[in-house]
Amino acid sequence: MNPWILAIRPRTLPAAIGPLLVGNILALQLEQFTFIIACTSMLCALLLQIAVNLANDYFDFKSGVDTDERLGPVRVTQSGLLAPEKVRNAMVLCLILALIVGSSLIYHGGWPIAFLAAAAILGALGYSGGPYPLASHGLGEVAAFVFFGLVAVVGSYFLQAGETSTAAWILGCAIGSLNAAIMLVNNTRDIDTDLKAGKQTLAVRIGIGQARVLYQAFVYMPFALIIGGFFLGFLPGMPVLIAGLALIFARRLNNDFSVTSGEALNPLLGRTAKLTMIFSGLFSLGLLFV
């Protein structure tokens, strides 16, 4: 496989696509909705996700976290497939492209979007790098919840509507929870190697037993949130009903995660990312019938 494809990590991209899809479809019926803004925001999110993946590859190599004992998918820097400088330059290029693409969003959305853009770029760099890497201090799942949940859904809705809504906040929490589950699978797989490298991820801090309990909460919480949102009158019934079908997939994932560890978690990483896309796609489909 092309090393750049490995570096981009396509299996993780649903984490960026899903929340932007929901945020934009939620605003689809608004008079001011434009497909140009929807497509631009999705492209910007994809560039930021790729930049995060490249930064993680580069900074984990430079800090010594990635070694020959790594159980996860191939890291192109650590394995020697790509020179560290090339990965670093590609990361910077993606961030610059994201800023260029996002400049039109900043112009359209004003200072709130400018603030979110600055926070997203700092988050991309600070996830694995900088003086206080979020991933090394148990904050990886928090970052995923905030940036690929709340910021993505609420921000994309705000770009279309010019305001936020309770529905957007509920869905941001729901999809953020699913994306935090992706991060938790990754960190649970790497508990042993991260512990040796001194990387204090959340999974390292709480142990595999509690990580399994937390994963269960992450994959089931979205369904509790949308059902609660429906009964409180913030979400329509059709998308809640259709998205509920994803609960079957979530249950299978939870059952598998509860008895799996180490390298065997690699397939569950991709399947958890698929759950984000399935949930987002089904809810978006339901919104089209409202």
Task: Report the C-alpha gap between 290 and 288 in whole angstroms.
Answer: 6
pLDDT in tens, 225-272: 999 999 999 999 999 999 999 999 999 999 999 999 888 898 999 899
Q: Tell me the average pLDDT across 36-49.
A: 93
The residue range of the domain holding 165 is: 3-287
| pLDDT for position 1 | 64
| pLDDT for position 15 | 82
Q: Which amino acid is at 206?
A: I
pLDDT for residue 126 is more than 90: no
| pLDDT for position 229 | 97
Neighbours of 46 (CB within 10 A): 18
pLDDT in tens, 87-100: 899 999 999 999 99
pLDDT for residue 60 is more than 80: no
Residue 37 vs residue 193, higher pLDDT? 37
**Contacts by 135-139, CB closer than 8 A, 24 or more apart:** 135/56, 135/187, 135/199, 135/201, 136/63, 136/65, 136/198, 136/199, 136/200, 136/201, 137/200, 138/200, 138/201, 138/202, 138/204, 138/205, 139/202
| pLDDT for position 73 | 64
Structural domain count, the chain: 1
**Contacts by 210-218, CB closer than 8 A, 24 or more apart:** 211/184, 211/187, 212/188, 212/257, 212/258, 214/184, 215/181, 215/184, 215/185, 215/188, 215/254, 215/257, 216/254, 216/257, 216/258, 217/177, 218/141, 218/177, 218/178, 218/180, 218/181, 218/184
Whole-model pTM over 0.75: yes
| pLDDT for position 66 | 57
| pLDDT for position 10 | 86
| pLDDT for position 261 | 86
pLDDT for residue 129 is more than 80: no
| pLDDT for position 72 | 59
Task: Report the C-alpha gap between 92 and 88 in whole angstroms.
Answer: 6
Residue ranges of alpha helices (H) inside the chain are: 3-8, 14-26, 35-62, 84-109, 111-126, 140-145, 152-161, 166-189, 191-197, 202-231, 237-243, 246-257, 266-287
pLDDT for residue 130 is more than 80: no
- 55 Cβ contact partners less than 8 Å away, ≥ 6 residues apart: 91, 124, 125, 127, 128, 129
pLDDT in tens, 140-173: 899 999 999 999 999 999 999 999 999 999 999 9
Percent of the chain with pLDDT strictly greater than 90: 65
pLDDT in tens, 175-231: 999 999 999 998 999 898 888 878 889 999 999 999 999 999 999 999 999 999 999
